[in-house]
């Protein structure tokens, strides 16, 4: 069933296998091996094009759900996929729809590999995406990356530990976590972040930490 925008949060809460695969013509494949031109050539020869579309759409829906669970900032990819699905349901031709799906698959593949290009882990990338803002210089981008790295290390690895068990259930430990987030970001974020932007970024990271702690997920559990 096609995803709805209202189900975004539910998607984030689901767990999926690290590598979702589907079988196409007897071969298992994954996103990292998607070849757009090859898929389009195969589609031209496919006798049951609606099945090809359904298979690719199902694969992309599940892969996107997995990637949303890894990085909550990827909701624009959900909107884009929904637009492709809506266009098909509104009467777009099968060829047009499949080409749009393969273009989307390529974009999703590039997003899945972005943390490697940025020199970050998946968790660091999520924090980086929350912390960055528009109109950053290259030097400032590097500072924001370092801020994401330092913050995650401080919260997860360094002593004294602040993300203790059930920290989100105590006002005192909540304040401690919030204070550490502000301290690290105040030291590391570029000077171009005004106080309003700084507070917003601190709020974003803190809210994510609380959400993960409540769900018992990832680094904030």
pLDDT digits (tens, 9 = 90+) for 81-106: 999 999 988 888 899 999 999 999 99
| pLDDT value of residue 30 | 75
Q: Does residue 214 share a domain with residue 135?
A: yes
Q: Does residue 96 share a domain with residue 154?
A: no
Q: Does residue 93 share a domain with residue 137?
A: no
Query: How many whole angstroms separate alpha carbon 102 and alpha carbon 10?
Result: 25
Q: Does residue 129 share a domain with residue 90?
A: no
**Residue 18 in this model has a pLDDT that exceeds 70:** no
Q: Does residue 187 share a domain with residue 137?
A: yes
Strand partners, 29: 22
Q: Does residue 58 share a domain with residue 26?
A: yes
pTM of the model: 0.82
Q: Does residue 76 share a domain with residue 151?
A: no
Q: Does residue 187 share a domain with residue 105?
A: no
Query: How many whole angstroms separate alpha carbon 155 and alpha carbon 161?
Result: 7
Query: How many whole angstroms separate alpha carbon 71 and alpha carbon 122?
Result: 7
Query: How many whole angstroms separate alpha carbon 74 and alpha carbon 78?
Result: 7
* Sequence-ordered list of residues with C-beta below 8 angstroms from that of 149, at least 6 positions apart, any chain: 120, 124
Give the residue from 64, 50, 57 showing the smallest Cα distance to 11: 64
| pLDDT value of residue 23 | 41
Q: How confident is the model at residue 13 (pLDDT cuts 50, 70, 90)?
A: very low
Which long-range contacts does 159-164 make (Cβ < 8 Å, 24+ apart)?
A: 163/209, 163/213, 163/219, 163/220
The dihedrals phi and psi of 32, each to the nearest 5 degrees, come to -65, -20
pLDDT tens by residue, 141-161: 999 999 999 999 999 999 999
Q: Does residue 128 share a domain with residue 87?
A: no
Q: Does residue 213 share a domain with residue 138?
A: yes
Query: How many whole angstroms separate alpha carbon 72 and alpha carbon 91?
Result: 31
Q: Does residue 37 share a domain with residue 20?
A: yes
Query: How many whole angstroms separate alpha carbon 8 and alpha carbon 10?
Result: 5
Q: Does residue 142 share a domain with residue 174?
A: yes
Indicate the residue among 79, 112, 145 that finishes a domain. 112
Number of domains in the chain: 2
pLDDT tens by residue, 20-46: 344 444 445 578 888 999 999 989 988
**Residue 7 in this model has a pLDDT that exceeds 70:** no
- Helices within the chain (DSSP H only): 8-13, 36-45, 49-70, 75-89, 94-112, 114-118, 122-131, 138-156, 171-188, 195-215
Domain housing 213: 120-220
Indicate the residue among 112, 132, 160 that finishes a domain. 112
Indicate the residue among 94, 112, 130 that finishes a domain. 112
Of 37-41, 163-167, 176-180, which gets the smallest average pLDDT? 37-41
| pLDDT value of residue 49 | 87
């Amino acid at each position: 069933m096609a995803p709805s925008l209202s189900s975004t949060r539910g998607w984030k809460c689901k767990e999926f296998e690290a590598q979702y695969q589907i079988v196409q013509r007897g071969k298992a494949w994954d996103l990292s091996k998607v070849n757009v031109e090859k898929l389009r050539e195969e589609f031209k020869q496919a006798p049951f094009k609606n099945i090809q579309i359904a298979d690719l759409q199902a694969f992309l829906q599940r892969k996107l759900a997995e990637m949303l669970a890894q990085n909550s900032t990827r909701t624009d990819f959900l909107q884009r996929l929904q637009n492709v699905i809506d266009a098909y349901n509104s009467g777009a031709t099968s060829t047009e729809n499949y080409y749009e799906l393969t273009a989307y698959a390529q974009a999703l593949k590039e997003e899945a590999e972005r943390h490697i290009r940025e020199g970050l882990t998946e968790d660091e990338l999520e924090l980086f995406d929350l912390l960055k803002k528009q109109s950053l210089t290259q030097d400032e981008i590097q500072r924001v990356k370092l801020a994401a790295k330092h913050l995650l290390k401080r919260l997860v690895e360094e002593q004294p530990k602040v993300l203790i068990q059930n920290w989100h259930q105590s006002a005192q430990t909540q304040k401690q976590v919030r204070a550490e987030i502000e301290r690290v970001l105040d030291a590391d974020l570029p000077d171009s972040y005004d106080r309003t932007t700084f507070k917003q970024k601190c709020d974003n990271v803190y809210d994510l930490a609380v959400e993960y702690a409540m769900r018992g997920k990832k680094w904030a559990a």
